[in-house]
């Protein structure tokens, strides 16, 4: 049962691009400079360059997690230093950075469907905002949603940075939900079990999950028992497209070949990546036959939203996997 919904803020509830565009228009006007569309495009491109350059696109990395908000401030100052040099702004990078943060606090750029969605869900679920953004900018922006959000979780205040599992465990407890209420606890597996049984294809069903994390099994015991009673194979294995390489990149930084494959598949959708990954895990476990086309269903932590037909290969020949058709996926 869903009890709590956590919304990211930037590029989920609010349009960060629109906010940054408005900020630079205001900054340039205050400095007595005009700014045109090519300059705005240039600054938007450089914004991502400096953001990624500070490692902020990898918040799960240990060294980034420990200094995330300091790096965020540095990335803003880097961008302002570039704007000052390229476009002749008079103020110092530090002063421009402080002004950027102050203007961001005023930049309430809600997507058109944000308020209708929150109003439709309000009272049915605990609605929460969860953000890694700087407190001095994000908390004032979220005051525009007072009365609709039950909780606001800001990583700088919590001392935890998404996607640290401890962040979500804390948020779940504060919102009155158990962390194991998430779909990784087996809700999707039960839905698949019911659907396969109703369609008379129970003998074709294989469920794939991840191995216990630090000794804690995410899939509830009653789900595993239900699968066993119906004779449905359950494969619990390390994620093929992360596993050992994720451990190396988290600890030591950098990016590794298998992670590049995973990120490429995510360009289609997270579910496409999961479909291929789970099929390879099932093949390697001997739960599905080699060389046969299968229908794979995957998604995100919110549940299944993608289906593909594909022919998996083993992990030692992952580039030989063939995705034949994406039957459905989020837009």
pLDDT tens digit sequence for 24-71: 999 999 999 999 999 999 999 999 999 989 988 888 888 888 999 999
Residue 167 has pLDDT above 90, yes or no: no
Question: Do 314 and 235 share a domain, yes or no?
Answer: yes
Q: Output the pLDDT for position 181.
A: 47
Higher pLDDT, 10 or 195: 10
pLDDT bin (cut points 50, 70, 90) of residue 216 is low
Q: Model confidence over 269-320: pLDDT tens digits?
A: 889 999 999 999 999 999 999 999 999 998 876 578 899 999 999 999 999 9
Question: Do 13 and 149 share a domain, yes or no?
Answer: yes
Higher pLDDT, 171 or 210: 171
Q: Output the pLDDT for position 44.
A: 94
Q: Model confidence over 80-108: pLDDT tens digits?
A: 999 999 999 999 999 999 999 999 999 99
Question: Do 175 and 36 share a domain, yes or no?
Answer: yes
Q: What is the CATH number of the domain that holds 143?
A: 3.40.50
Domain count, the chain: 2
Best CA proximity match to 209, nearest among 289, 285, 308: 285
Q: Model confidence over 107-138: pLDDT tens digits?
A: 999 999 999 999 999 998 889 999 999 999 99
Q: Model confidence over 170-207: pLDDT tens digits?
A: 888 888 775 544 444 566 788 788 888 888 888 889 99
Residue 22 has pLDDT above 60, yes or no: yes
**Distances in whole angstroms, Cα of residue 133 to Cα of each of 20, 152, 203, 290, 306:** 14, 12, 48, 46, 30
Question: Do 120 and 203 share a domain, yes or no?
Answer: no
Question: Do 199 and 306 share a domain, yes or no?
Answer: yes
- CB-based contact 93:57 (threshold 8 Å): no
Question: Do 139 and 35 share a domain, yes or no?
Answer: yes
Q: Output the pLDDT for position 39.
A: 95
DSSP bridge pairs for 304? 299
Best CA proximity match to 127, nearest among 113, 147, 112, 109: 147
Q: What is the CATH number of the domain that holds 234?
A: 3.40.1380.20
Question: Do 120 and 253 share a domain, yes or no?
Answer: no
Question: Residue 74 sits in which domain range?
Answer: 1-179
Could you say which of 179, 203, 220 is where a domain stops?
179
Question: Do 88 and 9 share a domain, yes or no?
Answer: yes
pLDDT bin (cut points 50, 70, 90) of residue 213 is low
Question: Do 146 and 240 share a domain, yes or no?
Answer: no
Could you say which of 130, 154, 179 is where a domain stops?
179
Question: Do 77 and 136 share a domain, yes or no?
Answer: yes
Question: Do 194 and 78 share a domain, yes or no?
Answer: no
DSSP bridge pairs for 6? 128
Question: Do 187 and 174 share a domain, yes or no?
Answer: no
Could you say which of 179, 204, 230 is where a domain stops?
179
């Amino acid at each position: 049962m869903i009890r709590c919904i956590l919304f990211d803020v930037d590029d989920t509830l609010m349009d960060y691009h629109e906010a940054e565009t408005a900020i630079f228009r205001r900054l340039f006007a205050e400095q007595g400079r005009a700014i045109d569309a090519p300059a705005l495009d240039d600054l938007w491109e450089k914004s991502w360059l400096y953001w990624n350059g500070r490692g902020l696109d990898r918040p799960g990395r240990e060294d980034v997690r420990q200094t995330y908000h300091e790096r965020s401030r540095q990335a803003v100052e880097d961008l302002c230093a570039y704007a000052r040099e390229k476009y002749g702004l008079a103020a110092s990078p530090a002063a421009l950075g402080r002004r950027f943060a102050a203007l961001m606090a005023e930049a309430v750029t809600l997507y058109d469907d944000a308020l209708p969605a929150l109003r439709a869900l309000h009272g049915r679920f605990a609605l929460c905002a969860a953000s890694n953004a700087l407190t001095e900018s994000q908390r004032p922006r979220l005051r525009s949603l007072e009365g609709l959000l039950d909780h606001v979780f800001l990583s700088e205040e919590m001392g935890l940075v998404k996607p640290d599992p401890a962040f979500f465990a804390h948020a779940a407890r504060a919102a009155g939900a158990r962390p194991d209420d998430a779909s990784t606890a087996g809700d999707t597996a039960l839905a698949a079990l019911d659907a396969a049984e109703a369609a008379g294809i129970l003998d074709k069903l294989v469920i794939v999950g991840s191995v216990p994390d630090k000794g804690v099994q995410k899939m509830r015991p009653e789900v595993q028992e239900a699968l066993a009673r119906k004779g449905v194979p359950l494969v619990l294995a390390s994620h093929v497209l992360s596993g050992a390489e994720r451990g190396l990149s988290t600890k030591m930084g950098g990016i590794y070949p298998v992670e590049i494959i995973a990120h490429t598949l995510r360009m289609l959708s997270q579910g496409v990546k999961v479909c291929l990954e789970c099929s390879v895990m099932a093949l390697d476990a001997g739960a599905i036959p080699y060389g046969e086309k299968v229908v794979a269903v995957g998604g995100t932590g919110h549940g299944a939203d993608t289906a593909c037909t594909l022919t998996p290969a083993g992990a030692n020949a992952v580039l030989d996997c063939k995705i034949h058709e994406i039957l459905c996926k989020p837009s």
